[in-house]
Amino acid sequence: MTIEVIVLAAGRGTRMASSCPKVLHTLGGRSLLDHALNTAQALEPSHIHVVVGPENESLAEAQTRGTLIWHIQKERLGTGHAVELAMCAVHEPATVLVLYADMPLVRVDTLRALCAQAQDNRVVMLTACLDVADGFGRIIRDKTGAVTGIVEEADATVKQRAIREVNTGILVAPARRLGQWLAGVGNGNQQGERYLTDVVAMAVADEVDVVAHAVADLDESLGVNDKVQLAAAERALQRRQAHQLMQVGLTLRDPARFDLRGQVVFGSDCVIDINVVLEGLVELGERVTIGPHCQVRNARLGDDVVIHSNCVIDGVKVGAGAQIGPFARLRPGTDLAENVRVGNFVEIKKSQIGAETKVNHLAYIGDSDIGDAVNIGAGVITCNYDGVGKHKTVVGDGAFIGSNAQLVAPVTIGAGATIGAGSTIRQDAPSGKLTLTPGRQKTVSRWRRRRDDSQ
């Protein structure tokens, strides 16, 4: 059976109250449209058709997926009209699956089951049984339980609105029959639109079997029309992801307070505490521990790494046995070797830090190459920016940089060198020597502290 998928993404999204198109709002770090396209591609269809509104025409130019065919719905005349636009490019022998970009949580396995039932010239639709069915079209059945049609809520009677079985909108139908039915869909309803759902009654009239396939997981039926629904879908996605990760061995101290906005790959015995956000591609070795309230983005953490609380780790490679934080920020281009210690209120950017080196507190290291077993004292900064360009600091193995020192780049500190506390180093410091910039201490005997006479 050849499958062609039509993704409807032309809604204005006015209830989102945003200048951003609804289908570009993000869920788990990816746009709603991206979720729908990834799901569609997992079915390996022959073609994917995407229907967007005129204001989103640039989306077609931004996408590089080879199987996508874009259609612009210049006038929003309803879902039936949107599908009909795409049907012009669908091959008749195919079976058509209609998806919605604002339904990001439908599972691939559910859609496979839907398509499997679409053989023998059937129409199959995805339904859900909800306690609160507001906003959904209701499934109408006859006395025998057979589906006879769908009524939209705006057109439903009071009795029909009491029905709990609802239409999610997702539909599978033979392309040839679907095209014929769509040509006959009118707009004689409360909203003056051409409803895709009208084809169900047409199929029944043509004695074509209509199968209602109910979702097992109601989260799959969640649609996104406003920020409240977007937040609900986000929580549902995070619950799903957390459950999947724990099933394959990741320890989450509280799965309700964990967010994955990308992909995580991990070894055995990794532990993640509360309120941790993982973004992009995060790779964890074995026995990695991430403390509470951390953000980790596009990072690779080696075996036995410990990230203490309240750290931001972004675009970083961390060697085995390193310890970071609390309250540390590692910026893109940072590469820590084995057993590095980065302490509280330290910021490192675009720097290589050698094995066993300690940068324990209140330091800034930028555009630097720091050797092995170096000690960076409290308050040390590399002055890497002159207002126009960035310059490099090089510190050799075994150097000791005293507290509150300033290393003005470009500068090289030799191996085994010691830099006196409070020094400002503007020239290269030789290996194995003490270098400092002394200033004579002075006491002003006649000085008196100001007093506040108002007290």
CATH of the domain at 361: 2.160.10.10
Point out the catalytic residue in the list 25, 47, 361, 391.
361
Q: Is 71 a catalytic residue?
A: no
449 pLDDT more than 80: no
Q: What is the pLDDT at residue 63? A: 61
* Domain carrying residue 175: 3-221
Look at residues 269, 232, 272 and name the one whose alpha carbon lies nearest to residue 255: 272
Does residue 306 carry a pLDDT above 70?
yes
Amino acid 247 reads: Q
Identify the pLDDT of residue 55.
Answer: 79
pLDDT tens across 318-329, in order? Answer: 999 999 999 999
Give the pairing type, strands 258-266 and 276-284: parallel
Helix (H) or strand (E) holding 290: strand 289-290
Residue 320 lies in a domain: yes
Beta pairing partners, 123: 210
> Is residue 394's pLDDT more than 80?
yes
pTM for the model: 0.90
Which pLDDT tens digit goes with each residue over 225-271?
A: 999 999 999 999 999 999 999 999 999 999 999 999 999 999 999 99
- Find the mean pLDDT for residues 301-316: 98
35/166 same-domain check: yes
Mean pLDDT of the chain: 93
Same-domain status, 422 and 287: yes
Do 353 and 334 meet the contact criterion of CB atoms below 8 Å apart?
yes
| 246 Cβ contact list (under 8 Å, min separation 6) | 252, 255
- Is residue 43 situated within a structural domain? yes
CA distances from 169 to 172, 359, 405, 446 (A): 10, 57, 65, 86
pLDDT digits (tens, 9 = 90+) for 293-302: 999 999 999 9
Report percent pLDDT > 70 for the chain.
Answer: 97
pLDDT > 90? residue 120? no
Contact 13, 105 (CB under 8 A): no
146 and 213 co-located in one domain: yes
- CATH code of the domain covering residue 179: 3.90.550.10
358, 402: one domain: yes
CA gap 154, 191 in Å, rounded: 8
Within 10 Å of residue 106's Cβ, how many Cβ atoms? 23
Please indicate, yes or no, whether residues 204 and 258 belong to a single structural domain of this protein.
no
pLDDT at 455 over 70: no
| Tokens matching residue 369 | 């190459």
Q: Is the pLDDT of residue 66 over 70?
A: no
455/403: higher pLDDT: 403
